[in-house]
A and B are shown apart, each in its own frame.
Chain A
Amino acid sequence: MIARIGNEQNQRDRLHYDRETLNDFLHDRLAARTEEVTRHIESCEDCQCLVEDMAEESLSWRDLAELLAEPEGTFVHGCEVSPKSSATKDAAADERSRQAGAASFLEPSGDPESIGRFARYEVKQILGRGGMGIVMRAFDPSLGRHCAVKVLAPELASSAAARQRFSREAKSAAAVVHPHVVPIQTVDEHDGLPYLVMPVVEGPSLQQRVEQDGPLSPIETVRIAAQIAEGLFAAHQQGLVHRDIKPANILLENSVERVQITDFGLARAVDDASMTRSGVIAGTPQYMSPEQAHGDAIDHRSDLFSLGSVMYFMLTGRSPFRAETTMGVLNRIGNDDPRSLREINADVPEWLDAIVMRLLSKNPDQRYQRSSEVAQLLNGWQAHLLDPTRADEPEPQRPTSRRANVTGSGRKIDNKLPWILAAGVFGFFVWAATIIILQTDHGTLRIESQADENLPIVIRKGDEVVDQVSVTREGASIQVKSGIYIVEIAGNVDGFEVQNNAVVIKRGATHVAKIVETKPAGNAQADVIMQTPDRSQPPKLSPFTRMEFQGAQVLVTYRSEQYELLEIDRFAIQDLVKQTQEHFGRSWKKRLSEDLVEVLWKLGHFPGESVHLKLKRLDSGKVVSGEAKMTEANRHVLYRDNAHNQTEGRSVEDSFHTVLAGNTSVKADAVPLDEFLEKLSEQHRIPIILDRNNLKQAGITSNVNVSIEMKNVSLRMVLNIALAKVGCKYEVKNEIIRVFAAPKP
């Protein structure tokens, strides 16, 4: 079958294979003597040339390069680059960097027992890779001792700010010297990678201990918790907050069972780098405090909350706030009361339950205020438990208001209130405002204020600002048609809770305002403010081919020249801008430029095919005016240009688009649509709102089921596949992702 035919020109050693064999080689179909044939072809240029030609079957080499060279997500004209251009390419790159990451920074070592060298340390073993970096067990030859070396992950070390921060935090952590804190012996940098060195603590972590042996006894819990509290106190005295107290960071030294806290202050050091990288919280947030979960400023009392969670874990074997997704955990930390310890483990004495629950108060003011207080209390109980005759029970704690009716700064969304869809300061919102998204059949929103100063509130529906009010002590009523509204409360508000069908907005301990929905008595008064006369669509025309915004100036390109725009049909540009802002909110720049006619219609002005412009030359400052024709062609050029011209002021939507373009994996087996969206929303930490009214109108029930299982595809793809099937689509607008019925053609 494999014929070796002689080549007459070069008979001595140049023998070649026939086309059939070469073709089999090309298509991996060689039946026999595979190695021999391969060896020949790979060293014979003539055969190689033939194979190269034969490889062009349905495509030429040139086509191939052209079609594959450009990543799919990019587009030549659009300048738009999707962050995940090619799923597999990125995945492969990730994989490569992950593999390389574990050991790439190690230098070869002469010591046969070590896997490599880092700075002066002989690395014996990679112990693990955490969110922060790589932990290695190493030997320090100069001091002749074993140690643990933590290196900031190379991908996090790429930013100078992250490196500096790591070093700074590590140095301040090194200043804490206490028997219950793992000391940091060295903080240094090697080859651009910051690292720190700690002694090796022989023994399991609290996590491992509980996983192996099950929940601990109350006395053991008290002993360990007291030592943690002491270690925390040493750090808190120096103004250092641990920020990541969790069972894995509590080490139990063998034999002596001394408790040692590790990784002091390091959580903060990596926050910077990892947050900006992925936009999500690295690692498990199960032991986080509500203020941390909420992204607020934290102090040492945050560690006390985490201590409460760790005690809960010791006594029950599980963390108090568990959910399948990160967002779910965060929500529970902020909103839920944990199950009583005594319910899970009847051996837990009442006083211990009370201590843990007080530590787990949502509001830091209601926790113990100092770690020393906790240490003292726990030591007192330990003494009493060990020898009840010698040591008295510690003083009963002063009664604290139980958490039953306290939500602190938590945002509790009650299921009984379907009209409040979501509330919170979403992580992506860039301005300091409280957002409440609510859905209503038409009615009246009554806003009452108890604040001394006026409370600015903006109520929006879709693109429209329905009302922008400063609520005084007299209160305000806003009539709303059915639909989804966003209530945005500007200024210094730090929480809200739901009480008796109303949203109560709080600042500190005082209630500053309350939003109540009241239903109209009849149908008569509804629909008043939202009614707009039904006109045909405004045409898409523009006199300009480009519009840019520079501070207060609006620069336009008219007949290929750039001017400052002063007036359109006697409307001063400042007025036009102001009106557009009022009508369209944050997307005003896009609307003013792309939908100029619509904007003018909104103002009750209906231009024909031309407008009167007043423009100022940029060079000479000369003002020119005259009639300008509006065309579709101009507007089209402007529209295309806007794709990369209109980024300012849309950063919230932009961040959603980044999340939507990012890769994800989902699995749902006949899950109701609303639940499915809720899960996606939690998983990706973006507000996805199902417009039930819209679905109802379109005749789609919101409990249609979604079945989908996909890995490593964009969130857009997931939404598109799942929603198209049930006749829905989504849009990113007004700071939410709204799911609604897809229009029928």
Chain B
Amino acid sequence: MLQGPDTRASLIGKLNQPASEEVWMEFVSIYRPLVVRVALAKGLQHADAEDLAQDVFSAVRRSLATFKTRGRGSFRAWLFRITRNLVVNHLTRSKGPVGSGDSQMNQLLMQQPDRQNETATLFDYELRRRQLHVAADRVRSKFEPATWRAFWMTAVEGKSISTVAASLGKAEGAVRMAKCRVFARLQQEAQDLSSLWETEG
């Protein structure tokens, strides 16, 4: 199930071909919200986080050619490296009139490995969230709306099985099992996403 480095190499290779725009669109669609969220979590204002995302993806696009020569490390790690570097750059140099920099952040990032780990942890956490949200978007349409609602209300909103069963007019056992089956499918989808895009090297 896990795909080896070939997959990664071929995907990146594919991404590097101008013809393969679908891959580029999918790539940015999945990871752009992640970059924005991490930037927000690091204290950027919304507009500046959006700006950072733009810088990240134009840099990713520019450096696609150099990725293969960067040695070991997963695609995720590579994306993370770029993200972090750009956050650091962004905070070091003021790139113009927008007052969005903060060199204190930069110092912390540069000097304290703990801080870097913290950002990495944050990034990984947000990555899992993003994967799950993308998976949810994809899986939702594959279930009956009532099944999905049963899952969402119980597993996510934390409502009791009996309440949800009553409100949906379903048996409690059916609600409980709907919850489990959606969850299983969701994890499968997230797993597929992860092995497709972030296979460890």
Contacts and interface: CB of A to CB of B under 8 A. Distances in A.
Contact of B25 (A594, A639, A710): A710
B157 A88 contact: no
B104 A77 contact: no
Contacts of B171: 42-43
B184 A27 contact: yes
Interface string A701-716: 0000001111001001
B45 A640 contact: yes
Contacts of A463: 97
Contacts of A533: none
A391 interface: no
Highest count of chain A CB atoms <10 Å: which of B28, B51, B186, B187: B28
A732 interface: yes
A635 B46 contact: no
Given A26-B181, A68-B132, A88-B137, A721 B173 contact: no
B99 A590 contact: yes
Interface in B174-188: 174, 176-177, 179-181, 183-188
B99 A48 contact: no
A44 B45 CA distance: 52
A670 to B, nearest CB: 10
Interface string B158-200: 1000000000000101101101110111111011000000000
A265 B140 CA distance: 43
A627 B52 CA distance: 36
A637 to B, nearest CB: 9
Highest count of chain B CB atoms <10 Å: which of A45, A598, A636: A636
Interface residues of B, number: 68
B82 to A, nearest CB: 9
A717 B104 CA distance: 30
A99 to B, nearest CB: 10
Contacts of A636: 43, 102, 104-105
Given A540-B94, A632-B103, A745-B89, A728 B180 contact: no
A657 interface: yes
A86 B29 CA distance: 12
Contact of B180 (A51, A68, A591, A727): A51
Interface string A449-486: 00000000000001100000000000000000000000
Given A72-B130, A639-B45, A731-B51, A80 B29 contact: no
B5 to A, nearest CB: 21
Contact of A537 (B94, B128, B158): B94
B21 interface: yes
A729 B129 contact: no
A591 B99 CA distance: 7
Given A540-B94, A540-B102, A643-B46, A729 B40 contact: no
Contact of B97 (A462, A728, A743): A462
A564 to B, nearest CB: 23
A78 B155 contact: no
A723 interface: yes
B59 interface: yes
A52 interface: yes
Contacts of B191: 58
Interface string A12-48: 0000000000000111100000000010011111001
Interface in A717-745: 717, 719-721, 723-725, 727-733, 742-745
A623 interface: no
Interface string A68-104: 1110110101101000001110001000000000000
Nearest to A45: B173
- Count class of interface residues, chain A: 35 or more
B24 A725 contact: yes
B173 A52 contact: no
A742 B54 contact: yes
Contacts of A72: 33, 37, 129-130, 133
A59 interface: yes
A55 interface: yes
Contacts of B128: 63, 67
B77 interface: no
* Interface of B: prevailing SS: helix
A540 B99 contact: yes
A87 B30 CA distance: 12
A69 B180 CA distance: 17
B55 interface: yes
Given A65-B155, A632-B104, A745-B59, A724 B28 contact: yes
Interface in B126-164: 128-130, 132-133, 136-137, 140, 155-158
Interface in A624-656: 632-633, 635-636, 639-640, 642-643
A487 to B, nearest CB: 20
A191 interface: no
A43 B99 contact: no
Given A86-B133, A540-B101, A636-B102, A724 B21 contact: no
Contacts of B50: 660, 716
B99 A68 contact: no
Interface string B41-72: 10101110011011101111110000000000
B95 interface: yes
A75 B34 CA distance: 12
Contact of B21 (A54, A73, A707): A707
B86 interface: yes
B32 interface: yes
Given A28-B181, A717-B29, A721-B24, A42 B173 contact: yes
B187 A58 contact: yes
Nearest to A706: B21
A92 B137 CA distance: 10
A724 B95 contact: no
Interface in A324-353: none
Given A42-B177, A67-B128, A68-B133, A594 B54 contact: no
A606 interface: no
B54 A723 contact: yes
A72 B179 CA distance: 21
A41 B171 CA distance: 12
Nearest to B141: A88
A612 B54 CA distance: 39
Contacts of A51: 177, 180
Contacts of A88: 136-137, 140
Interface string B87-129: 0010001110111111111000000000000000000000011
A463 B171 CA distance: 63
A547 to B, nearest CB: 12
A55 B55 CA distance: 40
Contacts of B43: 77, 636, 639-640
A659 B93 CA distance: 29
A161 interface: no
Nearest to A633: B104
B173 A69 contact: no
A636 B60 CA distance: 28
B187 A67 contact: no
A549 interface: no
A725 B22 CA distance: 12
Given A69-B157, A721-B28, 13 more contacts: A43-B171, A48-B173, A55-B183, A67-B128, A72-B37, A75-B37, A539-B103, A632-B104, A639-B99, A729-B51, A732-B47, A743-B95, A745-B89
27 contacts: A28-B181, A42-B176, A45-B173, A51-B180, A65-B155, A65-B156, A67-B132, A67-B133, A68-B133, A72-B130, A75-B41, A78-B45, A80-B40, A86-B133, A537-B94, A540-B94, A540-B101, A639-B43, A643-B45, A657-B46, A708-B25, A717-B28, A724-B61, A727-B62, A729-B51, A729-B54, A733-B98
- Going nearest first, the 6 A-B pairs with the smallest beta carbon separation are A42-B173, A594-B99, A632-B104, A742-B58, A724-B58, A724-B57
